[in-house]
Amino acid sequence: MKINVGQAVDLSHKIRLGMTVYPGDPEPRIKRVKELIKDGVNFSDVEMGVHTGTHVDAPIHFIEGGAGVDELPTEQYVGEAVVLDLSYKPFGSAITEKDLKRFKKLIKKGDIVLLYTGMSTHWNEKRASTNYTYIGEDAAKWLVDRGVKTVGIDFLSVEKYGAKEPKTHRILLGSGVTIIESLNSELKHFVGKRIFLVCLPLKIEGSDGAPARAITYTFE
């Protein structure tokens, strides 16, 4: 298949003041510290958590001695992806192994699997921040067994909000499956399709995560 680079779609959230963040995480602060008229240049200062907006999780986020985001191979975030439609799941429910088995013929070893839950259409709703669709432990194990390289989801976390233990993160990251979180609602246009994804995180030394720009291309 040939990649149609003329039809790139941005799957990332805009970083802005007052944006949705995982409850308890710092909101980004963006300040213009130099002005063109006064200083001869526009220059801004940005302060935010590394899990702000569309981002990746590195193994060290939950795995002792795991790799930092700067140590991950770029091919983890570049390649063929399949988009699965899980938007029928109710708010706050787990995506299960049974849910994913419906799509087993679509998933190939080495794929990036992107889960469209529909929660991204509720991005600015406070009620959604603590009551979103997440990946259950059995589903995470099933994805690992299928040999996928990366899993992405269209909301704040792959983990249930308030989980006592981050089991889903540990199953995926501990098995070498990297994670993309908070893709935007444009993902809905690709459900059931194979696309080419580029989602490169900032190369922050030793970091447990990093903001990323996720871009998808269709195949001709």
Q: Is residue 103 part of a domain?
A: yes
Q: Is residue 44 part of a domain?
A: no
Q: Is residue 38 part of a domain?
A: no
Residues 147 and 218: their CA atoms lie apart, in Å, by 23
Q: Is 104 helix (H, G, I), strand (E, B) or coil?
A: coil
What CATH number has the domain bearing residue 211?
3.50.30.50
Q: Is residue 37 part of a domain?
A: no
Q: Is 172 helix (H, G, I), strand (E, B) or coil?
A: helix
For residue range 22-71, list pLDDT tens digits in order.
Answer: 999 999 999 999 999 999 999 999 999 999 999 999 999 999 999 999 99
Residue 194 confidence (pLDDT): 94
Q: How many domains does the chain have?
A: 1
Q: Is residue 39 part of a domain?
A: no
> Does the pLDDT value for residue 219 go beyond 90?
no
Q: Is residue 31 part of a domain?
A: no
Residues 83 and 112: their CA atoms lie apart, in Å, by 9
Q: Is residue 117 part of a domain?
A: yes
Residue 140 confidence (pLDDT): 98
Both tokens of 129, joined, read 């921040």
For residue range 182-197, list pLDDT tens digits in order.
Answer: 999 999 999 999 999 9
Domain extent at residue 194: 3-21+49-219
Residue pair 70/202 in contact by the 8 Å Cβ criterion: no
Predicted structure pTM score? 0.95
Q: Compute the mean pLDDT over every residue in the chain, rounded to the nearest whole number.
A: 96
